[in-house]
Chains A and B, each alone.
Chain A
Amino acid sequence: MDAILFLIFAAIAVGCGVNLVVQRHPISSALSLVGVMAALAVLYLLLGAEFMAAAQMIVYAGAIMVLFVFTIMLLNAGSERKTDKALFARLFGVPALIGFIVLIGFLIRTLLPKTENVVFGTFTEGTARGVGLKLFTEYLLPFEVTSLLILIAILGAVVLARKEI
């Protein structure tokens, strides 16, 4: 069951990822990215990361992608025009990409010690309780610094999106 779920959602993730790169219109890419994120949320759940799966759906697929789609709509972004480098990308880019993935896969298979099989339910610390306990004790300082980062990001976004610039 775990293997079937993994294969289905890994296939969805890779398919949507390829679609993201291949599509010319940004809105198609954005919707593919939502597909990738939803599939990854299911994989997080299989790995026992309940909180992260929920956060992935709410923060990434919910908030960030709405921001992207909103910007695409606001700027009325159309399909990108064709360039003269498309053939070059197809001839050298695709083999380079496949070579990169095969190399990483080979390194993972050879360098990593024998990894165990992922069985759903054997790791149950990834709940909101488990993550929160760690976040508010051991990682309290980084968590507080994060609030500063978000404050600066809000100010930056407001300043950059003003009328006068």
Chain B
Amino acid sequence: MPSSVPLSWYLILSAILFGLGVAGFVVRRNIITVFMSIELMLNAVNLSFIAFSYQLRQVDGHIFSFFVMVVAAAEAAVGLAIILTVFKNRATLAIDDVSSLKN
């Protein structure tokens, strides 16, 4: 067994996590779980940024991933406030029940 792994394995792990995030986003019917799938996708992209940062020997990738983290924090605060409001008005968390824009 080799003592270290190639960088592309990190990128493939990132792709797997992103794919799982997309699957959760499409499959799950609970609005909070859908939201958590988005966080999983953001995390997968962060891993890619940091892997490329290692390859190029520059910290720019860390900065990008830092900004992604900040945006994710802001998004979580606003998104969960929206979920709270939806729940207060409709008393449901199932996204199938919240489809006023559809028809």
Residues of A that sit less than 8 Å from B by CB = 1-4, 6-7, 10, 13-14, 17-18, 20-21, 26, 29-30, 33, 36-37, 40, 43-44, 47-49, 51-52, 55-56, 59-60, 63-64, 67-68, 71-72, 74-75, 77, 80-81, 83, 89, 93, 97, 100-101, 104-105, 108-109, 112, 115-119, 123, 125-126, 130-131, 134-135, 139, 142, 146, 149-150, 152-154, 156-158, 160-161, 165
Which chain A residues border B98 with CB–CB below 8 Å? none
Task: Find the A residue at minimum CB distance from B94.
Answer: A80
Task: Find the A residue at minimum CB distance from B27.
Answer: A89
Q: Please report the C-alpha to C-alpha distance between residue A64 and residue B80 in the assembled complex, in whole angstroms.
A: 10
**Is the CB–CB distance between A105 and B15 below 8 Å?**
yes
**Is the CB–CB distance between B16 and A2 below 8 Å?**
no
**Is the CB–CB distance between A123 and B57 below 8 Å?**
yes
Q: Please report the C-alpha to C-alpha distance between residue A157 and residue B7 in the assembled complex, in whole angstroms.
A: 39
**Is the CB–CB distance between B69 and A48 below 8 Å?**
no
Q: Please report the C-alpha to C-alpha distance between residue A154 and residue B70 in the assembled complex, in whole angstroms.
A: 13
Which chain B residues border A116 with CB–CB below 8 Å? 6-7, 55
Q: Please report the C-alpha to C-alpha distance between residue A43 and residue B71 in the assembled complex, in whole angstroms.
A: 22
The distance from the CB of A8 to the nearest CB of chain B, in whole angstroms, is 12
Task: Find the B residue at minimum CB distance from A72.
Answer: B32
Which chain B residues border A126 with CB–CB below 8 Å? 53, 59, 62
